[in-house]
Amino acid sequence: MKKAIALEGRLRGCRNVVTLGARPNFSDYTAEEAELIRSAKKIYYPTTFYADLFDAAGIPTFPSYHTYKCVQDKIKQTALFELLQIAHPRTRVFYGKRQKKGIPDYFRFPFIGKIPRGSAMGRGVFLIDRPEALENYLSQTPVAYIQEYLPIDRDIRVVVIGGSAIHAYWRVAPTGEFRSNVALGARIELANVPEAAIQLALDTARQCRWDDVGIDICAHQDSYVVLEGNMKYGKEGFRAAGMDYVKEMERRIENGEI
């Protein structure tokens, strides 16, 4: 059986995948490796840089080019949610000193400030409850990404791969912590994940054309809202559920599901 070709190391360990690595210069690939890439029916995990190039060259990728366009970019994700009318906490982006001075005109304390690009695992998320906290946040980012504060102690992570919800779980924040990231000590609970939240995640992934994403959702005022999409999600949920991520991806590649 001909093996699939991947660049990033996400599928390293899959018996039916050859991982070439991501080289900063395409000329760094050997002639044999370059030909494997050019002749591949699909490239898996091509990296943000090469996803653009493969899309231009007409080479399909997994995840999709559209998925890579929104990796760790909260500003772009929010704009896309608003365009598609996907339920999302009230959010506004402020540029420059003049716009930032108007933040209290749009949001009342407390509210959330986030580092809008490149942050993950709960890092770069601030609970802003007074003017001094706002000043501290603004000193750390040139662009202010401000979001309404939702008084929740848990959210739901739904992992969507190739249009299917692979698994879902609650992330319960530890006492005294407003963030529900597992990296910050949140507890994983597998039971009683609402079907409505899973369906919202599936609909969001389909509309945004994301085919490999962990979508975070919370309950708010008797409905569900999408917090963000995480394209570099961790494997803790798979382990807690007793799922073998490598074997799951092997099977889906072999069956042509991704």
| pLDDT beyond 90 at 167 | yes
**Bridge pairing between strands 43-44 and 4-6:** parallel
pLDDT > 70? residue 121: no
Domains and CATH numbers, the chain: 4-62 (no CATH), 90-148 (3.30.1490.20), 154-254 (3.30.470.20)
Provide the 3-class DSSP secondary structure of residue 251: helix
Per-residue pLDDT tens for 53-97?
Answer: 999 999 999 999 999 999 989 999 999 999 999 999 999 999 999
Give the model's pLDDT for residue 47: 96
Burial class (CB in 10 A: 0-12, 13-18, 19+), 67: buried
User: Residue 182: what pLDDT?
Assistant: 83
96: three-class secondary structure by DSSP = helix
The per-residue pLDDT for range 190-226, each reduced to its tens digit, is: 999 999 999 999 999 999 999 999 999 999 888 999 9
Amino acid 181: pLDDT: 81
Helix or strand run (H / E) with residue 220: strand 212-220
